[in-house]
Structure 1
């Protein structure tokens, strides 16, 4: 029996893009709808059997699992509602709030265990990667958190919460950089004379296929690049430019450093609020 099958109740607070993707994934994996309560002021249309509320219920014990999928700036409103309730501490708090550290969440909700999650945008189509971290969850609760997030794609664990800044910079923000790279590839193709729509299609499909090959291959990305690049050929000439001292490596390093620095600044601001 899966860990989720043993869970009696799950409250999902926030059902936007990420929350909605999680909900659809849970139901597709066979989670019973009557175990689920969605709490969202917008009252989105939900599958049959899932309870929908526009606010936390009054006079009701808290859930076994509370999943926070609201925007970080709305955390204070959610906390205020919980503090007006008695007996509302969940057994497991799973938070996808970027920049909100475990210490803040523990103090706010007094959950039995707290797990932070950092999914990325491709999770909306089940092809994302989610990084999890917890200092106090036992193996059973870790398994519950992992099963809840696995519907979004790959799941990885880190032991040190401080690494979330690096995770945010790489996988959390990474899709934005890949999209910009696709855009730049298409722009360069147009500059060489390709029609706009063709250049865009070629760029998207080239990145998509290359990523799938890298995922499926036992060879490293560096080895795969060398397989494409014949000595003295066109790919090698382009790679020479990317590999130059002022090429792609220092640019990407600076990009991730900037994102990680901003992540740390946002976390510091959250601690002071």
Structure 2
């Protein structure tokens, strides 16, 4: 494994999860510097700085894990430096590769969209690059491989859709678990028990779907006996495609917001 320095700018929920994944990877040998004015502490062996080092010092790999709105604060600091990182991995939602190139000017730029379950190694990370060669692509994928499923996206225009589906998706599923638990509570179950049942049901069903060769529509039909209680519930969800229409509207709203963030980053 290569040993060039890696700088992680931003070590909040997502950046911190990625950091823990790297350090837990067998054979990890890169020196890591976290640059974050707010994080309280970092794991042993990791250097913590409160601001970007002055001068022309550059890392081998730079990982941007700040909020998209903070890119403008970082841009002048990199503009003052000579040279550029060899590889930039950015998880900034809505910030396109051309904008990143103008800010950092790395030799190769890879956009990444991880989701929150990367914190337990069960996440999804989508990747896109327009200029990375096979070696850089392999290296970028290796940086996120320990965090869960890795998927390359061929067209950057699809990144808004990926962000809406897998990036924002955990938030939508958490809402579904909450709603399912509250529906069970409305039927008389104690609130805590209803939440445990709803959470375990979603977990087990997701694991089954992930391990099955059959699609979710087939699996749903396997649960639903003709004239049974599951079928009656599915009839409510399927009537006028209510659930599908709701999810289309939900993902569309998230994708449109992501496009707005991209436009703001280009103009800012």
On whether the aligned pair clears a TM of 0.5, the verdict is: yes
1:163-174 superposed matches below 5 A: 163-174=158-169
The aligned length equals 268
CA distance in 2: counterparts of 1:65 and 1:31, whole angstroms: 17
1:39 corresponds in structure 2 to: 35
Instruction: Give the deviation of 1:7 after TM superposition.
Output: 4.1
Shift of 1:229: 0.5
Q: Does 1:85 align with 2:81?
A: yes
Query: CA 1:34–1:172 in 2, change beyond 3 Å: closer, same or farther?
Result: closer
- Select which of 3, 25, 28 maps to 1:29: 25
**2:240 match: secondary structure:** coil
Q: Distance in 1 between matches of 2:67 and 2:9?
A: 10
Residue number among 201, 210, 218 corresponding to 1:206 in the alignment: 201
Equivalence for 1:229: 224
User: Tell me, what secondary structure is at the counterpart of 1:38?
Assistant: strand
Poorly superposed stretches of 4+, deviation over 6 Å: none
**Cα separation, 1, equivalents of 2:184 and 2:45:** 50
- Where does residue 258 of structure 2 map in the other structure? 263
Cα contact 1:34–1:50 (8 A) shared by 2: no
Q: Distance in 2 between matches of 1:11 and 1:45?
A: 16
* RMSD after superposition: 1.4
Structure-2 residue corresponding to 1:114: 109
> SS in structure 2 opposite 1:194?
coil
Give the secondary structure class of the aligned counterpart of 2:239.
coil
For 1:14, the equivalent position in structure 2 comes to 10
Deviation of 1:32 after TM superposition, in Å, equals 4.5
Query: What is the Cα deviation at residue 85 of structure 1?
Result: 2.1
TM-score for both structures, normalised by structure 1: 0.94
Range 121-130 or range 39-48, more displaced: 39-48
1:151 correspondence with 2:127: no
Matches within 5 A, 1:30-69: 30=26, 32=28, 35-42=31-38, 44-69=40-65
- Once the two structures are TM-superposed, the CA of residue 58 in structure 1 deviates from its matched residue by 2.2
Q: Which 5+ residue runs of structure 1 have no aligned equivalent?
A: none
- In the alignment, structure 1 residue 126 sits paired with structure 2 residue 121: yes
Higher mean C-alpha displacement, 72-81 vs 212-221? 72-81
Gapped runs of 5+ residues in structure 2?
Answer: none
Shift of 1:60: 4.5
Asked whether the equivalents of residues 94 and 265 of structure 2 are also in contact (C-alpha less than 8 Å), the reply is: yes
1:105-142, Cα deviation, whole Å (9 max, x unpaired): 00111110100000111112111101000000001110
Deviates more, 1:131-140 or 1:247-256: 247-256
Counterpart CA distance in 2 for 1:136 and 1:258 is 30
Q: State the Cα distance separating 1:6 from its structure 2 match.
A: 2.0
Q: Does residue 1:192 correspond to 2:170, yes or no? A: no
User: In the TM superposition, what is the alpha-carbon distance from 1:168 to its structure 2 partner?
Assistant: 1.2
